[in-house]
Structure 1
Amino acid sequence: MNLVSLKVDIADHVAEVTLLGPGKGNAMGPDFWRELPEVFTALDADPAVRAVVLTGSGAHFSYGLDLPAMMPSWASMLGDDSLAGARTRFLNEIRALQDAVTSVARCRKPVIAAVSGWCIGGGVDVIAAADVRLASADAKFSVREVKVAIVADLGSLQRLAGIIGEGHVRELALTGKDITADRAQRIGLVNDVFDDQAALLAAARAMAAEIAANPPLVVQGAKDVLNHAREQQVADGLRYVSAWNAAFLPSKDLGEAVQAFLERRPPSFSGE
Structure 2
Amino acid sequence: MGDNGDPFEGLVSLAVARTGHVAEVTLLGPGKGNAMGPDFWRELPVVFGALDDDPEVRAIVLTGGGANFSYGLDLPAMMPAWAPLLAGDALAGPRTAFLKDIRRLQDAVSAIAATRKPVIAAVSGWCVGGGVDVIAAADVRLASAEAKFSVREAKVAIVADLGSLQRLAGIIGEGQLRELALTGKDIDAARAERIGLVNDVHPDPESVLAAARAMAEEIAANPPLVVQGVKEVLSVAAEQRVADGLRYVSAWNAAFLPSKDLGEAVQAFMERRKPDFQGE
TM class by smaller structure: over 0.9
- Out of 138, 141, 159, the residue aligned to residue 130 of structure 1 is 138
Shift of 1:242: 0.2
Task: Give the TM-score of the pair, scaled to structure 1.
Answer: 0.99
Aligned pairs for 1:4-43 within 5 A: 4-43=12-51
Aligned pair 1:118/2:118, yes or no?
no
Q: Match for residue 149 of structure 1?
A: 157
State the match for 2:265 in structure 1. 257
Give the count of matched residue pairs.
Answer: 272
Runs of 5+ unmatched residues, structure 1: none
Q: Does 1:59 align with 2:54?
A: no
Alignment partner of 1:25: what SS? helix
Give 2:4's aligned residue.
none
Cα root mean square deviation, aligned: 0.6
CA distance in 2, matches of 1:213, 1:63: 34
Corresponding residue number in structure 1 for 2:218: 210
Using the aligned pairs only, state the percent identity.
80
Alpha carbons 1:78, 1:87 under 8 Å: kept: no
Q: Secondary structure at the match of 1:186?
A: helix
| Aligned partner letter, 1:187 | I
In structure 2, how many angstroms separate the alpha carbons of the residues matched to 1:140 and 1:158?
Answer: 21
CA-CA distance at 1:243 after TM superposition: 0.2
Query: For 1:183 and 1:6, how far apart are their aligned partners in 2?
Result: 29
How far apart in 2 are the matches of 1:3 and 1:255? 32
Cα deviation for residue 113 of structure 1 reads 0.2
- List gaps (5 residues or longer) in structure 2: 1-7
Partner of 2:80: 72
Deviations 1:83-112 (A, max 9, x none): 111100000000000000000000000000
From 91, 97, 115, the equivalent of 2:99 is 91
How far, CA to CA, are the matches of 1:262 and 1:29 in structure 2? Answer: 17
Shift of 1:24: 4.1
Cα distance in 2 between the residues matched to 1:204 and 1:215: 19
1:48 paired with 2:20, answer: no
TM superposition score normalised by structure 2: 0.96
Instruction: Please give the alpha-carbon distance, in whole angstroms, between the structure 1 residues aligned to 2:236 and 2:20.
Output: 28
Residue 80 of structure 1 deviates from its aligned partner by 2.1
1:101-250 aligned at under 5 Å gives the runs: 101-250=109-258
After TM superposition, which residue ranges in structure 1, 4 or more long, deviate above 6 angstroms? none
